[in-house]
Chain A
Amino acid sequence: MTERQRTLWMFGGLIVVGCIAPFVLYPTFLMKVLCFALFACAFNLLLGFAGLLSFGHAAFFGGSAYITGYLCRDLGLSPELGLLAGAAFGGVLGALFGMLAIRREGIYFAMITLGLAQLVYFVAVQMPFTGGEDGMQGIPRGKLFGLVDMSDNIAMYFFVFAVFMGGFWLIHRTIHSPFGQILKAIRDNEPRATSLGYDVARFKLLAFVISASLAGLAGSMKSLVFQLASLADVHWHTSGQVVLMTLLGGLGTILGPVAGAITIVSLEDLLADKVGSWVTVIMGAIFVICVLLFRRGVVGEIGALFGKKPAAGPAGH
């Protein structure tokens, strides 16, 4: 199969599965999966393809959730505009964070993004419109383009699915563009990319902004689906969770984050009422196992099984 055929099969498959799924599984669960899958794909664009570990992606996810919530509930904006504003907010915040964070590399980068995200968390605790500890409730799903009533779960699902596919396509395009190739070059050998004449800082920043903006879009969508934006969305546990999803699914693979999001969200839903607070322990254990035993993640390991060259993240070189 050529690259082009593979891509067509992948998108075709996703669309078919996505269209059947809400009639087989609970749509709210699927929407949650899609929101987190988009979030994880956005995160993977940064870590898997540019080698930048952001530990502060919850700031974009949660921050945009609040912005969309505020615009749609308090200012009465329609949902599509709310989402756009959320994505724009994620992008702007990402540009600010990115400019500060890309000045340092590796774990410093991770710590800086974590610190900046914590700033956003404290702002969310104190701002009057966020509802503090209670969160922002009663965000209306509204009418799409003023026409489609989205309080219907199936309608909402197809909207979310369309947005997800749009975001997924954008990420796919980014990765397979010359820009994506340069990102991979930077990931694999930054000094060499610099010596080839690329302005490494600019490319990293652009990747950060795209990633943050899509993470914001995912958060905005989540706030519409659940009609709720809360401190949990901006908490650093959410940043850790998205790292786990990506790692578990397969760093630097296009479908990995989707698989990771499906696994983690299903696990959480399954375990939530059975094991209570042991969920954190299980998540932590999965983290440890992933790092120690299968760093390529589910999709990466399957790819390796079929003899494909594994798409390495910022892994063992």
Chain B
Amino acid sequence: MEIFGIPSPAFFGQLLLGLINGSFYAILSLGLAIIFGLLNIINFAHGAQYMVGAFVAWMALTWLGIGYWWSLILSPLAVGAVAVVIERTMLRHLYKLDHLYGLLLTFGLALVAEGVFKNYFGVSGSSYEVPELLQGGINLGFMYLPIYRAWVVVAAMAVCFSAWYAIERTSLGATLRAATQRPDLVQALGINVPVLLTATYAVGAALAAFAGVLAAPIMQVNPVMGSNLIIVVFAVVVIGGMGSILGSILTGLGLGVVEGLTKVFYPEASAVVIFVVMVLVLLVKPAGLFGKQA
């Protein structure tokens, strides 16, 4: 069977790969949106947090024998804890300044993290076994579906939609949204806004780490995996507009698929297609697809 002159296993394989990348874009741009919404900081360290998340899983398995499932919980907790320290000691002092300083500080932190991991682990990268339960695959007739890849898409989507639900449909989420609009008023209502800010940064970082653990078995665990990804995610954010949580998720997934399809039809352009889409969207809608303000 062929689709547009492409053998169907190749076509659907790339489509799946696109969906997987899209899932990562979605989680990461969601985390960025959550942090940006409340802290007004573009978290350049997001890619590093994703990379550290993957490395914590790798170290837990290689050095301590702690498996994938525990890592899925422990790694985000560990990265979240570090994020608490970063927010308390550094980011906190920048809220009153121009937000460019937040971007520059987190950029510096990303360089430090990347440099430290490069020194200890080199740049070549290490592999991480797919957990036993998710090994193998299913032959769907038109393509072969590795179970782990299906799991990544499902798990990522579950996390994204839980985050969406928590923010848009619960009272905690309502408080959070209120605090992005009027922190002074929310503070006056007896809610501890500084704690809310710390928690938000920690949750955002933990989301990135979770994505890192998910990525560990399918991508090479290496120190630059985050910095390569984060720039694409920034483009995704520009395209989506960071106006809404749902917008981040949909844009992330959609662009992953666009990238996957480009790989099928015009492989040379697959690395740039997202940036080309960014240019086109900026020409037509400078605020982005889901952007609220111009």
Contacts and interface: CB of A to CB of B under 8 A. Distances in A.
A295 B101 contact: yes
B231 A115 contact: yes
A71 interface: no
Contacts of A317: 98
Contacts of B238: 104, 108, 111-112, 115
Contacts of A107: 36, 42, 99-100, 103
A283 B118 CA distance: 14
A292 interface: yes
A155 interface: no
Contacts of A76: none
A284 B119 contact: no
Interface in A260-312: 276-288, 290-292, 295
Nearest to B86: A288
A46 interface: no
Contact of B231 (A106, A114, A277): A114
B268 interface: yes
Interface residues of A, number: 44
B111 to A, nearest CB: 3
A277 B123 CA distance: 11
Contact of B235 (A100, A115, A277): A115
Nearest to B279: A100
Nearest to A102: B286
B115 A278 contact: yes
Interface centre among A100, A122, A283 (most CB of B within 10 A): A122
A292 B119 CA distance: 25
A119 B119 contact: no
A189 B271 CA distance: 38
B119 A100 contact: no
A106 B97 CA distance: 12
Contacts of A285: 108, 112
A291 B94 CA distance: 9
A110 B105 contact: no
A10 interface: no
Given A122-B271, A287-B108, A103 B101 contact: no
A280 B103 contact: no
Interface in A161-180: none
B111 A116 contact: no
A63 to B, nearest CB: 15
B46 to A, nearest CB: 12
Given A243-B104, A281-B116, A100 B283 contact: yes
A53 B234 contact: no
Interface string B61-75: 000000000000000
B26 to A, nearest CB: 17
A158 B6 CA distance: 59
Contact of A111 (B116, B119, B234): B234
A301 B59 CA distance: 43
B25 to A, nearest CB: 13
A200 interface: no
Nearest to B90: A292
B134 interface: no
B98 to A, nearest CB: 5
B255 to A, nearest CB: 12
A115 B119 CA distance: 28
Contact of A100 (B104, B105, B272, B282): B282
A292 B107 contact: no
Nearest to B93: A292
Contact of B90 (A281, A282, A288): A288
A236 interface: yes
Contacts of B164: none
A314 interface: yes
Interface centre among B94, B116, B118, B272 (most CB of A within 10 A): B272
Interface string B98-142: 111101110111111111101100000000000000000000000
B108 A291 contact: yes
Contacts of A227: none
A276 B36 CA distance: 35
Interface in B264-294: 268, 271-272, 275-276, 278-279, 282-283, 286-287
A118 B236 CA distance: 13
B228 to A, nearest CB: 10
26 contacts: A53-B100, A104-B282, A106-B98, A106-B100, A107-B99, A110-B100, A111-B238, A114-B231, A114-B234, A115-B278, A243-B104, A276-B119, A277-B118, A278-B119, A280-B115, A281-B116, A283-B111, A284-B108, A284-B111, A284-B115, A287-B104, A288-B105, A288-B108, A295-B97, A295-B101, A315-B101
Interface of B: 36, 42, 90, 93-94, 96-101, 103-105, 107-116, 118-119, 231, 234-235, 237-238, 268, 271-272, 275-276, 278-279, 282-283, 286-287
